Amino acid sequence: MAVWNVAMDTALELAEHAARDGDVPVGAVVLDPAGRVLATAHNRCEVDNDPTAHAEMLAIRAAAAAVGSGRLEGCTLVVTLEPCTMCAGAIVLARLERVVLGAWDPKAGACGSVRDVVRDSRLNHRAEVVGGVEEERSARLLRDFFAARR
């Protein structure tokens, strides 16, 4: 589990970068089956004027490019906030083995809180979900970001 904590530290640093750019502070890291970093990303929706530029989507795209395949079997996505429905769909399509998340999203989460897209038995792939890794740090970053905007 130590490799997940190191990757979560990286994801949190990326989330801080997103916040400095005015984007919701979410960072993501994709690890290969051996635990090596394949790709990193942070939210860029505001910077890119792209509602699909979530950290998870960008990291999954970069990881797929790095391995030369849209199938990321055996790989792990480490992300600071529970993925939304769009990102959960991409996780299933990419066949990621596991999602390690920081804070749960009680409004839009799709990995177990509001919905559970990634473990839906009706789909052709299911991912393991490990929640609450550096949960308080992830949640605090989000709370501080939104408090400053209110």
Whether residue 111 is annotated as binding a ligand: the answer is no
144 C-beta neighbours (distance < 10 Å), count:
12
Alpha-carbon span 49 to 90, nearest angstrom: 20
Residues 78 and 8: beta-carbon distance below 8 Å: yes
Return phi, psi of residue 120, to 5°.
-70, 120
Is position 56 annotated as part of the catalytic site?
Answer: yes
Whether residue 45 is annotated as binding a ligand: the answer is no
Q: How far is CA 99 from the centre of its chain?
A: 7
Whether residue 75 is annotated as binding a ligand: the answer is no
Alpha-carbon span 88 to 135, nearest angstrom: 19
Nearest to 103 by CA among 67, 147, 135, 59: 135
Catalytic residue (one of 16, 46, 56, 82)? 56
Tokens representing 97? 């083995």
Mark the binding-site residues, compressed into ranges: 54, 84, 87
List, by residue number, the catalytic residues: 56
Sequence ranges of the binding site for Zn(2+):
54, 84, 87
